[in-house]
Amino acid sequence: MTLSESYKIIKKSIVAFCPKYVPTDPKDAAPLFPPIIGTGFVADSNGVIVTNDHVVRAFGKQFRPSGIPEEDWGVYALLLYSTTAGQAEIPLEVLGASLIEKFEPGPIYYGPPKPDVAFVHVKVRGLSALSITDTDDVVEGRELATAGFPMGTDALTAPGYVHQVTQTLQRGIVSAVLPFACERPHAFTINVMTQGGASGSPVFDPETSQIVGVLYAGLNDIGLTKEKDLYRIPTNISYVVPAHYIRHLMADTLKDPEMVQPADSQTIDDLLRGKELVNVLEKGRRFEIREIKLKNSVTNAARFTEVEKVRDDGEVG
């Protein structure tokens, strides 16, 4: 399988997490594109999406304005879906999330306090799920690829208007296995630059399209302005949570009775059926993007409790 062929499989299962409520000044125009918080990918057809712990924790801290119901997460998962009429931007309702409450590593462990992995449950059935590899042969020099939304909305509206409505694909190699080559590494790095918005991106094998990890951070250098202010400079070293964590944690997540789809959940085809696809790009653009508007609704369950401020130690997203 070529990279192009495997990417066709991967990209239809990648989502962007966007806020439902965007504060704007009444005199300002609406945003050109929904702001992007982070990336995720479908790992189970029953609406289970893999992303990062720090992405999910950002939901409750930054995107829940006062006055909305507690069960409303304030975010949705935006799925870009190709149809015969064009591309639909389908907002998937967030029902809940599963975070790691307790992590007990072995006696020899050099990783973070816990793997930066979380699972988000969305209200839709029959999603196209990606395959998580059942082998852990991550070695230096192995070619891998990743796709998501680095720089979030900024990359999609760089010229001052919407000129990209798709994920960004990048390719690299495994640069290092952390802490060293072993059976269960706590992470590995790839030589791909990542920036805010790419957190939660799938890292996959171009030959098999299987998921080998989830992107969670980038290594930053430090620069100094003329005024002696420090600023961060992204490098082409990015950190990945290996698939063995995703595989084992998801097995426990799927046992959670709250991860069952509600009786009134629908498939993507159900959501599209009978809907009018509306062109949301201005006249004169050289392509057409279609969007399905999110209806005002209340989510069924929200199991997220606000916790400490999201870390800012090199994590992206």
Average pLDDT over residues 103-110: 86
94 DSSP β-pair partners = 122
Which pLDDT belongs to residue 62?
Answer: 65
pTM of the predicted model, to two decimals?
A: 0.84
Residue 274 pLDDT greater than 80, yes or no: no
Return the higher-pLDDT residue of 8 and 307. Answer: 8
Domain spanning 3-291, CATH architecture: Beta Barrel (2.40)
Determine the Cα–Cα distance for residues 134 and 163; give it in Å rounded to an integer.
Answer: 38
Percent of the chain with pLDDT over 90: 52
Least confident window among 8-12, 15-19, 20-24, 69-73: 20-24
Residue 296 pLDDT greater than 70, yes or no: no
Structural domain boundaries in the chain: 3-291
CB atoms within 10 A of CB 77: 25
Least confident window among 8-12, 169-173, 196-200, 250-254: 250-254
Which pLDDT belongs to residue 284?
Answer: 34
Residue 299 pLDDT greater than 80, yes or no: no
Determine the Cα–Cα distance for residues 43 and 48; give it in Å rounded to an integer.
Answer: 6
Nearest CA among 82, 93, 76, 7 for reference residue 37: 76
Which pLDDT belongs to residue 295?
Answer: 40
CB-neighbour burial class of residue 247 (10 A; exposed 0-12, middle 13-18, buried 19+):
middle
Return the higher-pLDDT residue of 27 and 209. Answer: 209
Residue 102 pLDDT greater than 80, yes or no: yes
pLDDT tier, 280 (very low <50, low <70, confident <90, very high otherwise)? low
Q: Which two tokens stand for residue 256?
A: 């959670």
Note whether 289 and 81 are within 8 A (CB).
Answer: no
